[in-house]
Amino acid sequence: MIIIPEQYVINVLYENVYKISYNKYTKTYNGCCPICKEGGSWGKKKRFYYIPNKELAYCHNCGYSKKALTFITEVTNKPLHTIVNDIKGFDVEILPIEEPKEVKKVIDKSLPEDCINLSDISQIEYYKDNTTVKLALQLIKDRKLDKGVNKPKTFYLSLKDPVHKNRLILPFYDENDDIIFYQSRGLTKKDLFERPKYLSKVGAERSLYGMQNINSDLDNVFIFEGPIDSYFVENGLATCGITEKSNKMFTTLQLQQINKLNLYEKIYVLDNQYCDKAALSKSIILADNNEKVFIWPKELKQFKDFNDICVAGNKDKIKPEFILKNTHSGLKAKLLLTDIKNNS
């Protein structure tokens, strides 16, 4: 392994990257990409970044993503032994040479091609003045989406996709941690006025959210409609909506996934039945099918869903004990739901 002195990397950057500059706030270097030359934007846009604390060179234009040593060999065309000789003048220990491992760039074809990774510092820095990016980051902060115990690894934002443009992308993973589905959530007032708040991936069968986070040490899984509510409950799953047709409440894929959960007690947690007539109707159907249903306590009827509770109470999670305490099935569930229906 070769330990590359930071000053040596900086020297290489200033010798080989056009318009390179340092941002003291983000502690990153930014310039024009020496790999792709940024096409017609060469010299106009600076989409190349070097992140010292990760020793990572990254270009948002071409997707280049390499560790420092690999970047140096490629941009200078110097062999490893020459680089070793170059850095001998620096106060650093030279360990036995090991070929650098390439940083794998994740290009997930299950997402819109233009997606911005909202956990990537370099991408956020590049789009820091974009209004939609600001809206997405503010929503994540305000709704505590990045704090939930069952949150996804990251969030994305689509800027160009014909269906999901300017919408927050909520990824769904399978048991192998691969993205197999997504929903998008509207951000702008115009979009929320003209279209549904949530849209699903076009041409794809709905999956369950949360399969990658199942904790086998727990006895229960909690099935929500919307993924955002499930972020705040361990072993929370989400369906992207449940139809009111009792024989077609789930997709074929979801039924296959649910059947894998036979070792767990399944509890359905819908939006507040006091203020959501559709949730009440679906809860009654689930109770008729002898499923276990969470029934909202009357003292919480001012909250629409679990995300509302967490935002209002500054919580990162809802304890399973609270859900279990208010879960009912059979005749008891039907009586409680009928009472809500008659008094709301």
Q: Can you tell me the distance from the alpha carbon of 120 to that of 295, in angstroms, rounded to the nearest whole number? A: 39
Average pLDDT over residues 71-85: 84
Structural domain includes residue 98: no
Q: Last residue of some domain: 40, 72, 87?
A: 87
- Are residues 181 and 130 located together in one domain of the fold? yes
Confidence of residue 53 (pLDDT cuts 50, 70, 90): confident
| Number of domains the chain is built from | 3
Q: Would the CA dihedral through 266, 269, 274, 278 be positive or negative?
A: negative
Which two three-digit tokens encode residue 218? 């727990």
Which two three-digit tokens encode residue 61? 């234009």
Q: Which residue has the tokens 């990254």?
A: 58
- Are residues 190 and 260 located together in one domain of the fold? no
Confidence of residue 123 (pLDDT cuts 50, 70, 90): confident
Confidence of residue 90 (pLDDT cuts 50, 70, 90): low
Q: Is the pLDDT of residue 250 over 60?
A: yes
pLDDT in tens, 165-179: 999 999 998 888 888
Structural domain includes residue 149: yes
Q: Is the pLDDT of residue 96 over 70?
A: no
Q: Which residue has the tokens 């702008």?
A: 188
Contact (CB, 8 A) for 153 and 167: no
Structural domain includes residue 190: yes
Instruction: Decide which of 25 and 271 is more confident.
Output: 271
Contact (CB, 8 A) for 32 and 43: yes
- Are residues 218 and 249 located together in one domain of the fold? yes
- Are residues 224 and 310 located together in one domain of the fold? yes
Domain at 63, CATH number: 3.90.580.10
- Are residues 142 and 229 located together in one domain of the fold? no
Structural domain includes residue 108: no
Candidates 43, 41, 39; CA nearest to 20 is 43
- Are residues 139 and 235 located together in one domain of the fold? no
Confidence of residue 131 (pLDDT cuts 50, 70, 90): very high
Report the relative pairing of strands 220-224 and 236-238 from DSSP bridges. Answer: parallel
- Are residues 159 and 227 located together in one domain of the fold? no
Structural domain includes residue 262: yes
Which two three-digit tokens encode residue 8? 């040596």
Average pLDDT over residues 50-74: 83
119 in the Ramachandran plot: left (φ > 0), alpha (ψ -120 to 50) or beta? alpha
Structural domain includes residue 49: yes
Q: Last residue of some domain: 200, 224, 246?
A: 200
Structural domain includes residue 146: yes
- Are residues 183 and 254 located together in one domain of the fold? no
Q: Can you tell me the distance from the alpha carbon of 44 to that of 42, in angstroms, rounded to the nearest whole number? A: 5
Structural domain includes residue 26: yes
- Are residues 216 and 337 located together in one domain of the fold? yes
Q: Can you tell me the distance from the alpha carbon of 309 to that of 315, in angstroms, rounded to the nearest whole number? A: 8
Q: Can you tell me the distance from the alpha carbon of 163 to that of 32, in angstroms, rounded to the nearest whole number? A: 31
Domain that holds residue 82: 6-87
Q: Last residue of some domain: 68, 87, 106?
A: 87
Residues in the chain: 344
- Are residues 239 and 186 located together in one domain of the fold? no
Number of H helices, E strands in the chain: 12, 15
Q: Which residue has the tokens 């209002």?
A: 312
User: Widest CA span of the chain, in angstroms?
Assistant: 83
Which two three-digit tokens encode residue 147? 């704090």
- Are residues 127 and 161 located together in one domain of the fold? yes
Average pLDDT over residues 123-131: 87
- Are residues 37 and 67 located together in one domain of the fold? yes
